[in-house]
Structure 1
Amino acid sequence: MIAKMRYGGWLLALSATALGLVTATAMPASANHDVPWQPKPSAQDLLNDCSSGVGKCTFNDPVIKEAYLSNFHQVSDTIYNCSATRDSTQSKAWADMTGSMDQVGVTITEKVELLEIVEISVQQSYSHTWINQHTETGTTTLTVGPGEVGWINRAQVMQKVTGTWQTHYDDPHWGHYFWEVTGAAVISPAANGTDGKHNTVVTKTRPMTTSEKLSCETMHKNKIVELPKGRSL
Structure 2
Amino acid sequence: MITRTRLTVLLAAMATAGGMALAPAAQADEEPPTIRELLDKCDNGTDSCVFHPEGPGTDSMGEAHQVGDSAYNCTPDLQRSSISWADTTGESNSVGVSLSAEYGFAEVFKVSIETSYGHTWESSHTETDTTNVDVRPGEVGWVTRESQMQRVKGTYELHFPDRFHGHYIWYAPFDATGPKPDAPSTKTQHTRPMTEQEKAEHCG
TM beyond 0.5: yes
- Asked if 2 retains the 8 angstrom alpha-carbon contact of 1:151 and 1:205, the reply is yes
Would the aligned equivalents of 1:32 and 1:176 in 2 still touch at CA under 8 Å? Answer: no
Whether 1:71 aligns to 2:63 is yes
For the residue of structure 2 that corresponds to 1:115, the secondary structure is helix
Larger of the two Rg values belongs to structure: 2
Q: What stretches of structure 1 move > 6 A for 4+ residues in a row?
A: none
Q: Does the 8 A contact of 1:31 with 1:177 survive in 2?
A: no
Question: How far 1:121 moved relative to its partner?
Answer: 1.1
Question: Is the contact made by 2:113 and 2:121 (CA closer than 8 Å) also made in structure 1?
Answer: no
> Which residue of structure 2 lines up, in the alignment, with residue 190 of structure 1?
180
In the other structure, the counterpart of 1:99 is 90
Letter of the 1:27 partner, please give it.
L
Q: Are the counterparts in 2 of residues 95 and 135 from structure 1 also a CA contact under 8 Å? A: yes
TM-score scaled by length of structure 2: 0.75
Deviations 1:170-191 (A, max 9, x none): 3322211221113x22223224
Query: What is the alpha-carbon root mean square deviation over aligned residues?
Result: 3.1
8 Å contact kept, 1:75–1:154: yes
- 1:179 corresponding residue in structure 2: 170
2:49 to 57, 63, 66: 57
Question: Which structure carries more helix by proportion?
Answer: 1
Shift, 1:164, TM fit: 0.6
**Cα distance per residue 1:156-208 (max 9 Å; x no partner):** 222222211122333322211221113x2222322456xxxx52111122333
Question: Amino acid of the residue matched to residue 190 of structure 1?
Answer: K
Aligned to 1:24: 7
Distance 1:110 1:67, change over 3 A: closer
Unaligned ranges ≥5, structure 1: 1-14, 222-233
Name the structure 2 match of 1:150.
141
Give the letter for the 2:36 counterpart: Q
TM-score under structure 1 length normalisation: 0.67
1:118-137 to 2 correspondence within 5 Å? 118-126=109-117, 128-132=118-122, 133-137=124-128
| 3-state SS in 1 of match to 2:113 | helix
Q: What is the identity, as a one-letter code, of the residue corresponding to 2:143? A: I
Q: Percent identity?
A: 31
Letter in 2 for 1:177: Y
1:200 and 2:191 aligned: no
SS at match of 1:215: helix
Check 1:146–1:36 CA distance in 2 against 1; reply closer, same or farther (3 A cut). same
RCO comparison, higher one (Cα < 8 Å, 6+): 1
The residue type paired with residue 157 of structure 1 is: Q
* Residue aligning to 2:15: none
- Aligned equivalents of 2:165, 2:115: Cα separation in 1: 31
Aligned length: 192
Structure 1 residue matching 2:42: 3-state secondary structure = helix
Per-residue deviation, 1:54 = 4.1
